[in-house]
Structures are given as structure tokens and as C-alpha cells.
Amino acid sequence: MPAIIESITTQLVDLPTIRPHRLSMTTMACQTLVIVRLRTSDGIEGIGEGTTIGGLSYSAESPESIKCNIDAWMAPLLIGQPADNINALMARLDRHVRGNAIARSALETALLDSQGKRLGVSVAELLGGAVHKHLAVLWTLASGDTQKDIDEAFQRLDERRHQQFKLKLGANALRDDLRHVESICAALDGRAGVQVDINQAWDEATAVQGIAALEAAGVALIEQPISARNVCGLTRLANRFRVPMLADEAVQDTGDGLTLLSAGFSGAFALKIAKAGGPRGALALARTAQAGGIGLYGGTMLEGTIGTAASLHAWSALPSLEWGTEMFGPLLLKDDIVTEGLRYHEFGVDLPRGPGLGIALDEDRLRFYSRP
């Protein structure tokens, strides 16, 4: 007799960041996580996380809408169903729910965690097995202050925590952003790699001017310089410059991946489980990219430990991630809601051990940071 899903609950959790995190569309001083707890008739609990960036400033889903749509629409479709057939459960959601990729990802993560615990295997094993047990992780320098960012970069290098850095651009005038990048590249002077994320802030003409200067400064990768809708423009930029373009907001799932490949895009894809509706969707996009000769990058929505662990289990199952990962979300937070955090060392992070995600909630801290 298969275990039955008995309940699915959600909690909004507000965790402060270690410093303001400045992006082109918002500045974050707090990250809100939607924690999903799925309980089954055999006494197993699966946990998941749905997280976005800056409320509604990044995507069409907010923490509040994720919680509401799971509670009102998605959980009732799963409660009472057998818990062990994840394909059937997610297909059931596909038939009745449109969009809501982040909410889907949180539910799929909880289902995978539950099934892994049931079988005594990790989520990575459920996804085909871990090729990597330690994954490279970059750090985003986003204080908004050039000297602070330089000091932060050297501190991370000295700690052997990160040796690749991303700079967030687009909130300032182009000349100011370029001066900021050039100063940091000169200060690092080959000790670390630098890439930039524009978060769609430029038009194509500005991008042509900006990318030429960034390429000259030694930037290694340029993420989503223009609107996600401008697939032809992104392809033109990828073909015009030597420095690769990284598609992020432009590539949510396999459909977007095929669109970019058909347009002749030759850069890299940023994978995110939240964009793809869960770890399995992100891996499907990865396979599409690899078939088309596109490099991969393990992206983040600045998730906490649960969402980051789910991503790591997925990325570990890939033969290669040419551009590494940015799974630093938990390091941006002042506190955590788990009993044991992820282990960051030697410029990367270890894959969690144990069945399921290998993560357990700290009930006291969860209560402390949860909204009433």
C-alpha cells in the first residue's frame, strides 16, 4: 500500500541579509522564503522552498502569491494522492495549473525529499546519481561601493571561499558602472575571474557600447544585458563579441532553450530550479543545452539552505557545469532555519549527505523567523 499525502503546509520566513544586496531592479535587506512541509501517511515529511528576488520586482510570483497558490490551488490537487509517483503528481499539477514555476519547484522539491527519505537515498540519486560531490561557487559583489566590493573580494579569496566574482550592473549610469567594473578587474589583476549581470537593464545600443568596454576590461561572462524578450538582440550580441553572453531571464525552460538555439544563440544558459518548475525541469533544460553545444551555469534565486541544497543535488547530476555555480544564497543571510548548514570551503560547496535533501529544519529558529 503506497504512502498517501496527508497534508501540505506553507510558511513565510523572513531572514535578514548580511548587507544590502543591490541589483538593477531592487536592493534587498531581507530575503523571504516560502517553506513547504509535505507529510505522508507513513510518517515521512518532505521539505521544499520557493524563493524569488525582491517580491514582485524580479518575476510574476511573489512570496505571498507562492504561498497563496499552493495553499488554495495546488496542495488540494496533491493531498490524498500516492506520494511515491512524482511523475504522476507533477503531471496532475500540469493538467490543472498554469505557470507558477516557483511554487511548482517548492512542491517538487518536497516530493523528492520525501521519496528520498522513504527509499533511504539522496535526491541526487533519484535524479540519476551525483557526478560531483563538491561544486565551485562564485560570490556576488553587490554592495554598490567599489572599495567595499574590492575589500570583500580579497577577503573571500583569503578565506578560500570564492575565486570567481559577479558584479551587478544596470542601476547606475553606464560610465559609472564601467568605472566600477574596471576598478575591480584592475584590483584583482588576474587573481580571480569576474563576470557581470545586467538583469535586463540595458537596451541593445547601450549593450553594444557597454560590452565592448567590459570585454576590454577582461570580464569573462556577461549575463542578460538586455530584455529577456529580445531573443534576436541577445543572439546578435552573442555573435558580435568574443565574451560569451549568459541567458538567464530569457531561458526559463526547455521551450525557451529551443527558441534560443533556433535563433542561433551561442552563449551559455543559466539553470535555475525555480525558473524550470523544479530540479527535473532544470535538468531537462540542461540536456537541451548540451545537445545544442551550449555551456551551463548553476544559477540561484538567492534561496536559503533548502532551495540551495535542492539545486546542488540537481547540478551534481550533470556531467559538467562549464561556468560553475552561484549557490551562495545561504551565505548572504545572517541566520538560518536548519540544524546544520551547507559546508563551503576550497572555493566551493559540498553536496549534502543523507537521504532526501540531507537537510533538517531547526524548529525554534523556524518559528522565530516565520511570519505570524
Edge-to-edge strand list for the sheet holding 134-136: 134-136, 348-350, 344-345
Quote the CA–CA distance of 68 and 10 in Å, as a whole number: 9
Quote the CA–CA distance of 298 and 318 in Å, as a whole number: 10
Catalytic residue chosen out of the listed positions 67, 117, 166, 168:
168
Quote the CA–CA distance of 67 and 322 in Å, as a whole number: 34
Cβ neighbours of residue 293 closer than 8 Å, sequence gap 6 or more: none
- The conformation of residue 332, written as its DSSP 8-state character, comes to G
Ranges assigned E (strand) in 125-255: 134-136, 139-141, 164-168, 193-197, 222-223, 245-247
- For residue 168, indicate whether it is catalytic: yes
Q: Are strands 245-247 and 268-271 parallel, antiparallel or unpaired?
A: parallel
Helix axes 101-119, 279-291, angle to 10 degrees: 100
Quote the CA–CA distance of 285 and 370 in Å, as a whole number: 33
Strand partners, 344: 349
Contacts of 71-75 spanning 24+ positions with Cβ under 8 A? 71/10, 73/97, 74/100, 74/103, 74/104, 74/107, 75/8, 75/10, 75/107
Q: Annotated active-site positions, please? A: 168, 326
